[in-house]
Structure 1
Amino acid sequence: MLQMILTGLLCGGLLGFVMQRGRFCLTGGFRDMYIAKNNRMFYALLIAIAIQSVGVFALIQAGVVRYDAGAFPWLGTVVGGYVFGLGIVLAGGCATGTWYRAGEGLIGSWIALVTYMLMSAIMRSPHAAGLNAMLKEYSTAHNSIPETFSLPAWPLIAVLVVVTLWLVRRELMKPKRKVASLPPRRTGLAHLLFEKRWHPFVTAILIGLIAILAWPLSEATGRLFGLGITSPSANILQFLVVGDSKYLNWGVFLVLGIFLGSYIAAKASREFRVRAADAATTLRSVAGGLLMGFGASIAGGCSIGNGLVMTAMLTWQGWIGLAFMILGVWTASWFLFVRPQRKATLRAAAA
């Protein structure tokens, strides 16, 4: 139990610290792909995926960790990924982003986090057993992309790495925009850790390495998976309500560590402050959290579980779930940002 607590908090703390300091927000990144035609954060996600894929498959080949992709629940992945994408725009952050932004003192994220945990717990209760059983009927035998085509994993990993390197190189060759900044107040390591703006690609490398670390640490406690947010979040609420220690696993301490690591980073960088949410933000946070919990549960993962981990494991669930997640973000962005802006522009032109 002590090992589970310490390693879970350590891994989660590192992830929360890195994501907070690197402002690693997939919701904003997916939204920018559509609105601003800026793919930088998506390329950063590909970096983290590629690094994790190389590392974890090397661990599997060495016999350090085990993994079985299982079947592919395609209907749940498609519908859940899309609904999750809608939810994270309303909530103002994905599952992991909501945890780390809660650690910054953002009340809206706290509200979204509570409703996300609540819906995730409901979806794992007997009340949702019928829906979950129905969705499982719409599955294919192979979730693993290499197994589907009877190919080894390494050639596909090589393609992923090459494509990622090409996209990253092209992005880095673009002219750099000068960003005004205040004179540094700190020097040395303190400046690098708590003041200097982190490049998203550097942040992605660190996240990829932490994702690799999560696998052996988690499997050492009997949990055969890497980073995951939705099930552990539901387990926290179930433990608080029922009081059964069976809900406490490595993932629970991982997500608690994300909150703790983010809080430490925000306090040390002077970015922590309690920010109240207005009525409109509160309602969006509630709705977003509910959609996040529902979507991630039926999809089998959130932006981390599917978008980072299952993609790295070369599964259909990961890549198709990620695609529909992005589509959901774009749909919500059109209704919340693009459409109102166009209406305002037309009104201004007609005035």
Structure 2
Amino acid sequence: MVSQLLIAAVVGIGLGIFLQKGRFCFVHAFRDLFAFKDSRVTKGVLAATTITMLFWSIAYELGYYQKFWTPGWGLTGLIGGFVFGVGMTYAGGCASGTLYRAGQGYLHFWLTLAAMGVGYAVFTVLFPTLQTVYFEPLTFGEGVSLFTISPIPAPVLALLITIGIVLVYATVVGRERQGATADQAVAADGGQRVSAPVAGFQSLVHGTKQYVHGFSEIDDWVAASKRPWNPITAALGISVLALLWFTQVFIVGITGPEARWAGYLLQQVGLDSGSYAYWGSVLFKGKGVRVTADMMMITAVIVGAFIAAFWSGDFSIRVPKRKRIPNAVGGGFLMGAGSRLAPGCNIGNIYSGLAELSIHSFIATVGIVAGVYVMTHWIYRDVGCAV
């Protein structure tokens, strides 16, 4: 358990740093693509998912993995994913984006987290009823990963899929003008887009080489580390940490551990959380309401984001505008409830789920993206969207 907690701290802090420095938010990835044809963060999401898929396929083939997360597939993924996609777009941040911006000092996203907790609690109370009227009739098959049923080796399958993704992306999205958005960094307040220099892997390595050859050049490395990083640079770091977590603990998830935190915190104030079937039997697996490694990992994400933001001069306590409070509360509630209805959030389904080739996650991803698309067009209904 001690080793898992240490891994949780390393992975969580590292993820927080990479998420914050890469401004790695799935809302930006899809909303900015639909609204402005800005694919800067979309490329990072695609890179992170495909690199992780390749890493995990090799780990699976070699036997160095814990367990795939493969819920039963059906319309639950589509409906729950849609609700979650609407919620995260309205709130202005996805599950991972909410964590790193909470660490950056945005009280808006602390409010979003609290509202997500309410969504988890309401779902838990309704879970026995939802089992019979929602999950059972709308779940059509057992959960499965294509890696486990493929007749070809997992790394070969992952490589073929990666090539296919690259070809589709180059055909559909790659026609946009080269470099049109390369220098745009998305501000972390959930909607403003500003121009700023972006540091990539090469600039960081260049700064390190200068450091080796002369201490007087260390300022170049420091300056590069403080600028926003290219999302693809962040994607590589996220993928390496996800591989460590996958081989030692489980796939990367956000809303599942958050739902456990909701049950645990309510337990501390007198509620018998373990008596509720969803917390007691499903999330805590009958082992008692306690702090688990993945709960500590997502907490460390906030710590890592704080470290990165403080180092870069991005940290400050930001009070939300009054007109944005409904976004935080309403969007957060839909994110919490939607992630349980699916089940899974953007990290559990789009990032981890697609990387493990879960059939459920393919369906849930369609729902999430559809939710973002519909909500983006509603938000920008007066000016229109580019896609």
Q: State the TM-score, normalized to the length of structure 2.
A: 0.78
1:108 matches 2:113: no
Q: Which is further off, 78-87 or 112-121? A: 112-121
Paired residue total: 332
Structure 1 runs of 4+ with >6 Å offset: none
1:206 matches 2:237: yes
* Distance in 2 (alpha carbons) for counterparts of 1:49 and 1:209: 11
* Distance in 1 (alpha carbons) for counterparts of 2:196 and 2:14: 26
Structure 1 residue corresponding to 2:267, chosen from 203, 228, 242: 242
Which residue number in structure 2 is paired with residue 55 of structure 1?
55
SS in structure 2 at match of 1:139: strand
* Distance in 2 (alpha carbons) for counterparts of 1:189 and 1:172: 34
1:140-289 aligned within 5 A: 140-145=141-146, 152-166=153-167, 167=169, 171=174, 174-177=177-180, 179=183, 187-195=219-227, 197-218=228-249, 225-243=250-268, 246-289=289-332
Q: Which is further off, 164-173 or 270-279? A: 164-173
1:331-342 aligned within 5 A: 331-337=374-380, 339-341=381-383
1:259-338 aligned within 5 A: 259-337=302-380
Counterparts in 2 of 1:92 and 1:259: CA distance versus 1, 3 Å: same
CA contact (8 A) 2:49 2:354 kept: yes
SS in structure 1 at match of 2:93: coil
Counterparts in 2 of 1:242 and 1:201: CA distance versus 1, 3 Å: same
Which residue number in structure 2 is paired with residue 130 of structure 1?
129
CA contact (8 A) 1:73 1:135 kept: no
Give 1:334 deviation, angstroms: 1.0
Which residue number in structure 2 is paired with residue 221 of structure 1?
none
* Distance in 2 (alpha carbons) for counterparts of 1:214 and 1:121: 27
Which residue number in structure 1 is paired with residue 83 of structure 2?
83
Give 1:295 deviation, angstroms: 0.8
Any unmatched runs of 5+ in structure 1?
A: 219-224, 343-351
CA contact (8 A) 1:89 1:288 kept: yes
Counterparts in 2 of 1:246 and 1:84: CA distance versus 1, 3 Å: same
* Distance in 2 (alpha carbons) for counterparts of 1:211 and 1:154: 17
CA contact (8 A) 2:145 2:358 kept: yes
CA contact (8 A) 2:69 2:251 kept: no
* Distance in 2 (alpha carbons) for counterparts of 1:259 and 1:50: 25
Give 1:335 deviation, angstroms: 1.0
SS in structure 2 at match of 1:19: helix
Percent of residue pairs bearing the same amino acid type: 26
SS in structure 1 at match of 2:140: coil
* Distance in 2 (alpha carbons) for counterparts of 1:93 and 1:203: 17
1:25-104 aligned within 5 A: 25-68=25-68, 70=70, 72-104=72-104
Deviations 1:287-336 (A, max 9, x none): 00000001111112111010100100111222221121111011111111
Matching residue's letter, 1:193: S
CA contact (8 A) 2:103 2:306 kept: yes
Q: Which is further off, 100-109 or 138-147? A: 138-147
Counterparts in 2 of 1:186 and 1:292: CA distance versus 1, 3 Å: farther
Counterparts in 2 of 1:105 and 1:126: CA distance versus 1, 3 Å: same
* Distance in 1 (alpha carbons) for counterparts of 2:179 and 2:36: 16
Could you say what the CA RMSD is over the residues aligned between the two structures, in angstroms?
2.7
Deviations 1:18-47 (A, max 9, x none): 010111111011012211123332232121
* Distance in 2 (alpha carbons) for counterparts of 1:293 and 1:200: 26
Q: State the TM-score, normalized to the length of structure 1.
A: 0.86
Give 1:65 deviation, angstroms: 1.5
Matching residue's letter, 1:140: G
